């Protein structure tokens, strides 16, 4: 049986018929983006997570439907708070945007309720320019021969050396920081404690919350920054989270396979939903290019 790597077949179909897809509805659930999918013939939904290097299938979904899947080599996953070995599967049949293909190395993960069938990470994002209109809950895909992202990008961003993941520079209270662009982070901007200190946030702590990473949970404190500069926009009174004193994290390599050495710019946290939610976000994951715009008033 022919195996399609990640979303290669979807990419070829898209490339053959259109340079820009029609806008398609996505579901926004507590800051997470979901698309309707079919997994092994079962209707479900997939979360889009640009902060994940791997594609995952929900352990609860597999159990609910008593699926017997082809085993693959286990993978070590490094989350924000912990490293954990996970089982993986090959030849998993998936239908998205009306195209059926097979996924290999689909890693088992805890993705909440069994109705959340899977998570699509780098394997989805790197094949296209992905445009997300958060205000209208719409998504469309664009081929790179249609738009010159190097010309229109208005946020300082690059692909991180080693991981290949897109990172962007933002300024919090005037302090420049490199953060991962993470559509899977449904909360506030998350930075490490040293960066929070540099931005003057440790003296303004308002409270603490429990944060859930890929493998485990931890305690984060939060404070409100006076200003966050994101590309051409400056936003006032933005909430920023950071690990509580003594809380160990792996912020610089969340979802990365353990053992991979990362070089290049020092990544100190994650950009999430609270910063992205007001914008139309155009992301070229592969080239590390980003454009943001406010939606037009209707």
The 10s digit of each residue's pLDDT in 195-204 is 999 999 999 9
The residue ranges of every structural domain in the chain are 8-142, 149-293
- Compute the distance between CA of residue 21 and CA of residue 120 in angstroms, rounded to an integer: 19
- Compute the distance between CA of residue 2 and CA of residue 46 in angstroms, rounded to an integer: 23
H/E stretch holding 150 reads helix 149-152
Nearest alpha carbon to residue 15 among 167, 149, 129, 111:
129
DSSP tag of 50:
T
8-142 and 149-293 share one fold: yes
Q: Give the homologous superfamily in CATH for domain 8-142.
A: Acid Proteases (2.40.70.10)
The 10s digit of each residue's pLDDT in 71-88 is 888 776 665 555 677 889
Say if residue 17's pLDDT is above 80.
no
**Reduced to 3 states, what is the DSSP secondary structure of residue 67?**
coil
Residues in the chain: 298
Mean predicted confidence (pLDDT) in 153-162: 91
State the Rg of the chain over Cα: 19
Class of 149-293 per CATH?
A: mainly beta
Query: What pLDDT band is residue 241 in, cutting at 50, 70 and 90?
Result: very high
Say if residue 224's pLDDT is above 50.
yes
Nearest alpha carbon to residue 132 among 280, 295, 296:
280
Beta bridge partners of 180: 167, 270
pTM (two decimals):
0.82
- Compute the distance between CA of residue 288 and CA of residue 231 in angstroms, rounded to an integer: 14
Q: Kindly report the average pLDDT of the chain as a whole number.
A: 84
- Compute the distance between CA of residue 119 and CA of residue 185 in angstroms, rounded to an integer: 13
């Amino acid at each position: 049986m022919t195996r399609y790597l990640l979303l290669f077949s979807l990419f070829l179909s898209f490339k053959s018929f259109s340079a820009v897809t029609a806008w398609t509805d996505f579901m926004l659930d507590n800051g997470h983006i979901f698309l309707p999918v079919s997994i092994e013939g079962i209707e479900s939904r997939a979360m889009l997570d640009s902060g994940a290097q791997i594609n995952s299938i929900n352990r609860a979904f597999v159990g609910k439907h008593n699926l017997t899947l082809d085993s693959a080599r286990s993978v070590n996953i490094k989350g924000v708070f912990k490293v954990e070995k996970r089982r993986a599967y090959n030849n998993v049949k998936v239908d998205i945007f009306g195209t059926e293909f097979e996924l290999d190395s689909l890693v088992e993960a805890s993705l909440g309720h069994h109705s959340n069938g899977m998570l699509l990470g780098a394997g989805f994002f790197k094949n296209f320019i992905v445009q997300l209109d958060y205000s209208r809950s719409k998504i469309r895909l664009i081929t790179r021969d249609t738009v010159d992202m190097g010309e229109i990008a208005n946020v300082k961003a690059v692909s991180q050396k080693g991981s290949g993941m897109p990172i962007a520079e933002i300024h919090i209270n005037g302090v420049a920081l490199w953060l991962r662009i993470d559509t899977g982070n449904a909360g506030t901007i998350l930075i490490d404690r040293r960066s929070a200190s540099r931005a003057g946030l440790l003296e303004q702590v308002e409270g603490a919350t429990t944060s859930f990473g890929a493998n485990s949970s931890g305690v984060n404190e939060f404070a409100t920054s006076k200003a966050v500069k994101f590309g051409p926009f400056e936003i006032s009174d933005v909430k920023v989270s950071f690990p509580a004193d003594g809380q160990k994290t792996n912020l610089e390599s969340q979802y990365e396979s353990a053992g991979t050495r990362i070089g290049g710019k020092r990544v100190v946290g994650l950009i999430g939903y609270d910063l992205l939610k007001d914008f139309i976000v155009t992301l070229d994951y592969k080239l590390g290019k980003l454009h943001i715009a406010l939606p037009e008033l209707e």
